[in-house]
Every structure is written in C-alpha cells, then in structure tokens.
Amino acid sequence: MKKLLISLSALAVLAAASPAYASPVVPSESAVQKAQQFTKYYALRPNEISSLEGIYLKKGQQLTIFAQGSYAYYSVYDSSNHLGTFFNSNVGRIFTATEDGYLYVQFAAPSSYTINHITATYQIN
C-alpha cells in the first residue's frame, strides 16, 4: 500500500511538472484573423527557375510580396495556372484572391556570373 501511494504521488508530481507545450492549445478566432507573415530565401544560379510556391488564399484575402535581391524577378500565377504578372522590382506588390484557391509564385534568375540571392517576405491579410 505504501509503494502504491508513493508511485501515485510521483505520478501526480510528474503530471503537474509537464511542459506547457504538451497541453493542447486552441487558437482564438481573433488570432486567426491577424496577418500571417513568413520569409523564404532563394539562391538561384544563372538562368535557374525556382519551383512554384503555392500559397492558399480565401476569396478576398490579400497577398503582399516583398522580394529583395540584386535581381528579384518573379511571376505570379492564379489557381488555374494563368500567368498573372512578371515583376522585377524590389517594391512590395499586393495580390487579391478573386476565389478560394492557390496563388503560385515562381522566381527566375537572369543570365549573370554569380548566384542570385533573393529574400522574399510574404504577408497574408
């Protein structure tokens, strides 16, 4: 009986000392409504094209792309793979989803003698 009480108390101490990340957390709806932002880094050889980056948007959501680099060329495709636009500036661009689905972003490196480093920051509102 004494061993049973000791093992139960040890189990209670371990359960109370469990880390906070082990408990389930349900995000509130207001947290989901906030803007999401993430950054991706690309290193492209001359004349190389990156893979398509699919970003899911609901109708009415906006995607802002800030591409920085010496040669930050990129194309944006809609959910039916139609070429939307081709940009080559370091200015942030805003794209609004007209329907639920993916917008695809693809970077391209021009002919040069060095590796092209591109930092792309995506923000979803």
| pTM of the entire predicted model | 0.65
In degrees and rounded to multiples of 5, residue 31 shows phi and psi of: -70, -30
Query: What digits encode the pLDDT tens for the residues 103-116?
Result: 999 998 888 888 88
**Strands 73-77, 83-87: pairing kind:** antiparallel
Higher pLDDT, 38 or 90: 38
pLDDT of 33 over the 80 cut: no
Helix (H, G, I), strand (E, B) or coil at 5: helix
- CA 59 distance to own-chain centroid: 18
DSSP 3-state of 29: helix
Q: What is the pLDDT of residue 23?
A: 42
